[in-house]
Amino acid sequence: MTKDALLARLADAVISGKPDLAKEGAHEVLKNGVSPMAAINEGLVKGMSVVGDRYAAHEVYLPQVLMSAHTMYAGLDILLPAIPKEEVADKKKVIIGVVEGDVHDIGKNIVKTMMTAGGFEVLDMGRDVPISTFIESSEKEKVDVVAMSTLMTPTMDGMKEVIDGLKESGYRSKVQVIIGGPPTSPTFAKEIGADHRDANAQDSVANLKGVFK
């Protein structure tokens, strides 16, 4: 089977919500030497974006989106551990989480894995993370980076609240604050006082490496 056909099979597994097909497809791409990142972005994520479009067009409903998300994780469970890891002597510490009110965590988990693979120590606070947890844990754990994710418009303001809280506690000047998720933008990042917004996991690792080089 060609690389394109293997990737299309992964996308189809997510679109049709078939976890077993995603697992089979993930093993198959790795066996054929396709990079796990390509399999994630051009296979699983591509499938999920089709599901997102269909959901927005009311062609599929929440239970189907849930099955697709479940399928995405079945594939990610095999592909994420296969990403090669860099060895770094002086590891910078990142705290990452999805802001309060939002449970969408697939993208955050991809970012977390890419950062770990890129030589960062990552503390994952999970999803629906209270504003106070971000603020208190950042200082307590002496992190170098605060990374926040959200996929929903109503929860974007939580990012500003975290940054404002970090300013109040005096820790803002000691950290890089990065944000991501489709409703965010570089303009929004500037508005709320974040250092930058990255569109995807690879860019965020490249940018952070630039900051700490």
Question: CA–CA separation, 72 vs 23, rounded Å?
Answer: 9
Could you tell me how far CA 200 lies from the centroid of its own chain? Answer: 7
Residue 2 or residue 128: which is nearer to ligand B12 going by CB? Answer: 128
Q: Minimum distance from CB of 105 to ligand B12 (Å)?
A: 5
Residue 22 or residue 48: which is nearer to ligand B12 going by CB? Answer: 48
Residues that bind ligand B12 (CB under 6 A): 45, 48-49, 51-52, 55-56, 62, 65-66, 69, 101-108, 110-111, 147-149, 151-154, 178-183, 198, 200-201, 204
Q: Minimum distance from CB of 31 to ligand B12 (Å)?
A: 24
Residue 31 or residue 163: which is nearer to ligand B12 going by CB? Answer: 163
Q: Minimum distance from CB of 78 to ligand B12 (Å)?
A: 16
Question: CA–CA separation, 176 vs 190, rounded Å?
Answer: 13
Sequence-separated (6 or more) residues with CB below 8 Å from residue 67: 17
Residue 57 or residue 89: which is nearer to ligand B12 going by CB? Answer: 57
Cβ–Cβ contacts within 10 Å for residue 43, how many?
A: 29
Q: Minimum distance from CB of 106 to ligand B12 (Å)?
A: 4
Q: Minimum distance from CB of 202 to ligand B12 (Å)?
A: 7
The radius of gyration of the chain's CA atoms, rounded to the nearest angstrom, is: 18
Element (H, E) at 203: helix 201-211
Question: CA–CA separation, 149 vs 163, rounded Å?
Answer: 13
Residue 1 or residue 85: which is nearer to ligand B12 going by CB? Answer: 85
Sequence-separated (6 or more) residues with CB below 8 Å from residue 85: 116, 117, 119
